[in-house]
Chain A
Amino acid sequence: MCGISGVYLSPGDAAAPGSEFALQRQLEKMADSIAFRGPDASGYWTRGRLGLAHRRLKIIDLSDAANQPMFLRGGESAGKLGVVFNGEIYNFRELRAELQGLGARFTTASDTEVILHAFAKWGEASFSRFNGIFAFALVDLRPETPRLWLVRDRFGVKPLFYASQSGRMAFASTLRPLLELDWVSRDLDSTAVFHFLKFSHVPGESSILRSVHQIAPGTALCFDGTHERSHRYWDPFSLSGAAKDDRLDEKSALLELEGILKRVVARQSYADVPVGMFLSGGIDSSLLTWALVESRGDPASVETFTIGYDEAEFDETPHAEAVAKQLGTKHRTLRVRSEDMIDLIPDIPTWFDQPFADPSLLSSLLLARYARQSVTVALGGDGGDELFFGYSYQKALLQIERLAAVPTSLRRAAFSHISQTVGHFSHRGQKLLEILQFENQAELFQYFVGTIGPMRMDHLRDLVTLPLETGRAPFQTVLDEIQPLKWEEKIQQVFVRTFLVDTVLAKTDRAGMAFGLEARVPFLDDELADFSSRIPFRMKYAQGSTKSLLRKLAAKKLSNRVALRPKQGFSIPLREWLRGPIGYLLDEYLNPVRLRREGVLHPEGVRELVRAHRSGKRNHSHLLWSLISLQMWKERYAA
């Protein structure tokens, strides 16, 4: 894992006196701004209008020969194909052998060089052959006008931001390096602000800034100095569109899953540095730990890490310790107090340089910091819920959509009548009634996928002064694409394409990178993902039980205790914190005078929210936390 950045200047920029020196300085600044992503080495390359920068975290081939930017060193394309790469190609050894068979000569043992040879041989068709977590920028100097390729892995595990304007382009692993460039405007994307406050993250291919975008997962963008062309080299539709193997019986499926898990974990635990495992004691991470122990054959060589809290209802340590004990791993538990998490708050904008308000990022940061003391790579269970139908919200969506058969107007009339008859509902009751009046599927998803703000987006108009563009409804683009699918497949697609990439993976990447820890996600390995797309839905969800097949494997290989455990997320006690130990953040970031001066948030609307929360009448903790996060981010980057 690393930090990459680079620039493709416009002809005018390149013709300016001293432009090469200026470009070099820009690259240094861009790379320095994310130095924490790659503490082991740095490298720069410039030629004409192009410049690449790299900060390296050494994982595979620790020699300096594998430093980047890396250019092909032999063959016809020597010196003409270069790359800066963040991530891992898990099948690089197989690809390397294949390429060697085709005449490629390798000078390093790294996976980076495999990208170069693969592109030299197969061109853009090479991208779909990479099984891994990656974001890379590849320069092709062979055509008359050099081309810059920006490529992101299938699921979007690794981030890749870019900005383009008037014949120039810049890219980076995160948003921050782009802010080093004068021509990248810091104007907020008003719709992104609304979306952020609704979902606690900026969804999709946009960013919080109007001028900056993200390469979509499974997508490659090519820029030749004038035009940009983007194409999806992997279609997430294939996850649902694959022919289901309806004849597959459960016994065979379990056997196949067992074999795949072992292979995937063996593949993904390859590194020239110590590798560990995040173990919560839940189904996903326990199965991965089991597979790692199996593939290594030496339990004591497997290091597992868990975070423990004083609040018993959130604490998973007994479960994790039980699994570790059963499997015989070298287990470590970090016990944290509220103060430890609060102490991290000021640094959130440093590591999450696009506003991000999932409060569990604090525990992710602490766990990453703790694990980094022992290992450089850690495997985790992210993606299991999305691919194997593990969320209770997915289950709720499955059931509520049945109401779509009843016309919206009828539902609205009925629920309005209920509301008036029963009188004052609890906050939750009101929320449920509001949900049941959904107009369409896109709206239904807005209630269930990562939502933390008010039920309806337009309620945020009381808080945000910026205009809300109604044409960009979240989820609608995805839903348009997957229209022919069955409802359960739609649910899965939406979670994979939105919540997984925008919240789960963004958090995992940023938290790990904050401390130079590479977090890997075996559930998103191509082989396992393809398997999940082939099995019939009844193996994911049966008789009200989520992640059915995984549970059965856990029962077989571990224990019923693991298999039957309900999903347990960690929830920070934000409600109490904002009324107590971090209440000063409300005064500091949401005070009316400040808001009035800045002009982005409505002072009166926010004040009402703060007042209601502080008085104990309502719980607005998540929305307030998002507002604070936005303000902290603005203070750092957009002031």
Chain B
Amino acid sequence: MKPLRILATAYDYRPKLGGVATCSFELFAALARQENVQLLVMARAQAGDRAFDSHGLFETRRLALPHEAAMSIPALSASLMRESLRFRPHAVLNMLWMPGGVASLLSSPLRGCPYFVFAHGVEVLESRRNFRKKVRKALFSPLKARVYGNAASIFAVSRYTADRVIENCDVAPEHVRVARNGVDPFAFSPADPAAHETTSAAGILERHGLRGKRIFLTVTRLESYKGVDRCISAFRRVAALDPDARYVICGTGPDRPRLEALARHYRVADRVIFVGAVVHGDLLSWYRASHCFVLMTREALEEPNVEGFGLVFLEAAACEVPSIGGRSGGIPDAVVEGETGWLVDPHDDAAIANAMIESLRSAEETRRRGINARQRVLRELTWDHMGRFVLEEIRKHVRN
């Protein structure tokens, strides 16, 4: 049987961090692990890419593309045609509609194979907030609809994102498939009491003077729509009840000064710990050391900004840590209310605080939800699950 040749484009890609970059790499790795699949990835060149690409799972071509995605279209289209002639793909998989999807659309008459496009969340939305955004919407909305409309299939990472594609891009519902994000259950796993690595969780608590404390953890880029302000506001109510509760925030971003000021304003600055950027080892330790993961991303449609899915919820889940998530965007796909965590109105401090307090008061229930969360990951939310689903869908459209 001939191998299935997939040419993939990725604009947001590792070694840069972020949800789309991580999803792209992990999905490619999962596809490459499937039988009879030959994968060629075309990605934007960036610092440190050579070392990163030496993983040996699949071949990666790096292209020098401009920072503005739209400006990358000509160069990427040309490269795509060139590689198509050489690689002769059966399908092109684009991790973003812009620029990969547009380049695929432009080159499709010459290439003669179907293309597929991913939809993560925010890139599907359009805003009319200011003149620049209005112009952007006027220019790009029809193009986006074209790209999605001509794709063989659209993969949306959550039900929310699928609905937005259908709604905003005038696409038939049967054309959109929900391919939920995944996580690596080996890279993210609960602490094994017998293993040496448990010391890292204890170590990180020790290092930050948090031994014996109950940690609520947020891992995110610090931007206003991420809702960390609401978590701090809610946490002060928790702090008033439980002297051992602490709120740890991992990540950097422009909102940090405001959030620090807010923690001071609510007199919890000594109990809200801003860790900053963390390396993977420390991140794992923080997950393992946590009582609950919290993220209250809200829909900021004017920006626009939204949580298309929320990979971090799965990372926490894989570590048997339940989540308290905001009922917004794709988060309800990542967290199952009552089973793997709590879903609350991300604007409602009292509801967030109540969930936090409930998690502290019902230790057994919290533990149950944590175990459920990992079980769910193992059952349906690993990268391999995602890879198999995407591959199956691609095969349906490719004539052998």
Contact = CB atoms under 8 A, between A and B. Distances in A.
B261 A343 contact: no
B262 interface: yes
Contacts of B347: 593-594, 597
A346 B258 contact: no
B264 interface: yes
A253 interface: no
A581 B257 CA distance: 9
A583 interface: yes
Contacts of B262: 584, 588
A585 interface: yes
A346 B261 contact: no
A250 interface: no
A284 B62 CA distance: 77
Given A584-B258, A587-B229, A346 B224 contact: no
B233 A343 contact: no
Contacts of A585: 265
B140 interface: no
Contact of B233 (A581, A582, A588, A593): A588
A345 interface: yes
B318 to A, nearest CB: 32
Interface string A341-375: 00101100000000000000000000000000000
B258 A583 contact: yes
A406 B336 CA distance: 73
Kindly state the interface size class of chain B when it binds its partner: 10 to 19
A228 to B, nearest CB: 38
Interface string B341-373: 000000110000000000000000000000000
Nearest to B348: A597
B267 A346 contact: yes
A585 B229 CA distance: 11
Interface in B243-298: 258, 261-262, 264-267
A300 to B, nearest CB: 40
A234 B348 CA distance: 51
Nearest to B259: A584
B267 A588 contact: no
Given A593-B347, A594-B347, A581 B261 contact: yes
A588 B229 contact: yes
Nearest to A581: B261
A599 to B, nearest CB: 14
Contacts of B266: 346
Q: Which residue among A581, A584, A593, A594 has the maximum number of chain B CB atoms within 10 Å of its CB? A: A584
A583 B265 CA distance: 12
A346 B265 contact: yes
**Majority DSSP secondary structure for residues of A touching B:** helix
Contacts of A582: 261
Contacts of B348: 597
Contacts of B224: 587
A585 B265 CA distance: 9
Contacts of B258: 583-584, 587
Interface string B320-354: 00000000000000000000000000011000000
A345 B265 CA distance: 7
B162 to A, nearest CB: 26
Interface string A571-608: 00000000001111101100001100100000000000
Contacts of A593: 347
A584 B232 CA distance: 13
A466 to B, nearest CB: 22
A584 B264 CA distance: 11
Contacts of A594: 347
Nearest to A639: B350
B359 to A, nearest CB: 22
Contacts of A584: 229, 258, 261-262, 265
A581 to B, nearest CB: 7
Q: Which residue among B224, B261, B262 has the maximum number of chain A CB atoms within 10 Å of its CB? A: B261
Interface in A224-251: none
A32 to B, nearest CB: 17
A627 B65 CA distance: 49
Contacts of A343: 264
B231 to A, nearest CB: 13
Nearest to B266: A346
A583 to B, nearest CB: 7
Nearest to B262: A584
Interface in A528-586: 581-585
A291 B266 CA distance: 44
A72 to B, nearest CB: 44
A346 B261 CA distance: 11
Nearest to A347: B267
A559 to B, nearest CB: 44
B60 to A, nearest CB: 42
Contacts of A597: 347-348
A387 B233 CA distance: 46
B277 to A, nearest CB: 22
A582 B348 CA distance: 22
Contacts of A581: 261
B326 to A, nearest CB: 12
A582 B233 CA distance: 16
A593 B300 CA distance: 12
A587 B224 CA distance: 10
A114 to B, nearest CB: 42
B354 to A, nearest CB: 14
Contacts of A346: 264-267
B141 to A, nearest CB: 26
Contacts of B264: 343, 346
Nearest to A585: B265
Q: Which residue among B229, B233, B265, B267 has the maximum number of chain A CB atoms within 10 Å of its CB? A: B265
B157 to A, nearest CB: 26
A593 B347 CA distance: 7
A518 B124 CA distance: 63
Nearest to B265: A346
Nearest to B264: A343
A582 B257 CA distance: 11
A196 to B, nearest CB: 22
Interface string B23-47: 0000000000000000000000000
Contacts of B267: 346
Interface string A312-349: 00000000000000000000000000000001011000
Contacts of B261: 581-582, 584
Interface in B172-219: none
Contacts of A587: 224, 229, 258
A407 B265 CA distance: 52
A593 B261 CA distance: 21
Interface string A394-434: 00000000000000000000000000000000000000000
B129 to A, nearest CB: 12
Contacts of A583: 258
Contacts of A588: 229, 233, 262, 265
A343 B263 CA distance: 11
A411 B224 CA distance: 50
Nearest to B261: A584
B270 to A, nearest CB: 14
Q: Which residue among A588, A593, A597 has the maximum number of chain B CB atoms within 10 Å of its CB? A: A588
A632 B233 CA distance: 13
A582 B265 CA distance: 10
B237 to A, nearest CB: 11
Nearest to A582: B261
Interface string A493-530: 00000000000000000000000000000000000000
5 contacts: A346-B266, A346-B267, A582-B261, A584-B265, A593-B347
User: Can you list the 8 inter-chain pairs with the closest CB atoms, starting with the nearest?
Assistant: A593-B347, A584-B258, A584-B261, A346-B265, A584-B262, A346-B267, A588-B262, A588-B229
Interface of B: 224, 229, 233, 258, 261-262, 264-267, 347-348
Given A584-B258, A588-B233, 10 more contacts: A343-B264, A346-B264, A346-B265, A581-B261, A582-B261, A583-B258, A584-B229, A588-B229, A588-B265, A597-B347
